[in-house]
Amino acid sequence: MSRRPAGNPESPSGAARTALRFFGRRPDFLLLAVALPVFLATELPLAAWAVVAAVWTLQAVLQVAFDAKVASTDNPRRVIALLAGGALVRAWTVATALLITGLLDKDTGLIAVVFTLVLFTLYFAARVFGRLLDDADTVSEAGR
């Protein structure tokens, strides 16, 4: 059983901190979770949400796998190949899933594409701002 530190009764538990850290770095997954009730309430095609949720999660797992391979190599050519190849594999995976969805049902495909664009925009913005904050922390620490 997790205990909160005695000095701060408002401190979240370990699991809550982990969730906050994850959703802080990956707000796209928070949007994905929040979108399900929205899809249900507005009677949008649930198949669009399911396809996007599955393919978005798959590409995130692929990203983790490629990032682990990048971290384990010192060869600059291999790093570039893994980064470029990983980006292409992830993009083609998402694009193929969306294409198949659109071929099966145009309305569902269109909604899936728009939802994916919103997720990607949020993901990309979080990556950029996360890097900026990490760089600011690095500069701040270097100045001490």
pLDDT given at position 2: 47
Nearest residue to 114 (alpha-carbon basis) of 29, 60, 35: 35
Query: Tokens in use for 30?
Result: 């928070």
The ranges assigned to domains in the chain are 27-142
Residue type at position 140? S
Q: Please give the model's pTM, rounded to 2 decimal places.
A: 0.76
Contacts of 109 (CB under 8 A, 6+ apart): 48, 98, 99, 101, 102, 103
pLDDT at 1 over 50: no
Could you give the CA distance from residue 84 to residue 92 in angstroms, rounded to a whole number?
A: 12
Count other C-beta atoms under 10 Å from residue 70's C-beta. 15
pLDDT given at position 39: 97
Q: Compute CA 52 distance to the chain's CA centroid, rounded to the nearest angstrom.
A: 12
pLDDT digits (tens, 9 = 90+) for 7-31: 455 566 777 777 667 666 789 999 9
16 phi and psi angles, rounded to 5 deg: -65, -40
pLDDT given at position 135: 63
Percentage of the chain beyond pLDDT 70 is 80
- Mean of pLDDT values over 48-53: 98
